[in-house]
Amino acid sequence: MPELPVSSQEFDATYALYHRAVWALAFAWRLDSSAAMDIMQETFLRYWKHANSGSEIKNPKAWLMKVARNLAEDDSKSAFRRHGTIPTELFGTIPGSSMPPDAELQRREAFQAIRSVLDELPAPDREILTMRYALDQDAPQIAEYLGIPVSAIHMRLSRARQRLAEKLSAIGVTQLP
């Protein structure tokens, strides 16, 4: 039996390294953990198929992030998403570990407000904010991924942060958790 270009061990290592980043990027586009999981799984399935088709993938992370972004963007354009059929309960909350109930409630309300405001931002703003803050990528890394100059990344981040702050201020959120 011929050996595959990408062994299952290599695939597992790639998955271990990048699955969280792929999921986070998909979540930034959809704000739905189930949809993000589906997009992540489809991304890695495509990676497996592409890598074993004989095509070389020189930068797996960049390839995975590009595919995930495209899948998330396509999914966001679907009729299901456009017609607003995603209930607000899917935005979820982040459970606390040992916070007092009142502090936990305030934290949950703040996160819900942030999620609803993020949903109002254009997808490119959500994407760049997620890459910078959730994935902790610096401007040169983001610029390489998006294929644009670092100065443009700084400008986009500045404008996205400004739009986010304005929307949060408009709903009375002045302090982040």
Query: Which is more confidently placed, 163 or 83?
Result: 163
Give the whole-angstrom CA distance, residue 71 versus residue 156. 22
For residue 94, what pLDDT is reported? Answer: 43
For residue 96, what pLDDT is reported? Answer: 41
Q: Which residue has the tokens 């993938």?
A: 57
Across the chain, what does the average pLDDT equal? 82
How many Cβ atoms from other residues are within 10 Å of residue 89's Cβ? 7
Nearest to 28 by CA among 125, 98, 105: 125
Greatest mean pLDDT among 46-50, 113-117, 169-173: 46-50
Q: What percent of the chain has pLDDT over 70?
A: 83
Domains in the chain (CATH in brackets) are 1-86 (1.10.1740), 93-177 (1.10.10.10)
Q: Which amino acid is at 125?
A: D
State the pTM of this model: 0.50
In the predicted model, is pLDDT for residue 92 greater than 80? Answer: no
Give the model's confidence band at 15: pLDDT under 50 very low, under 70 low, under 90 confident, else very high.
very high
Query: Which is more confidently placed, 165 or 103?
Result: 165
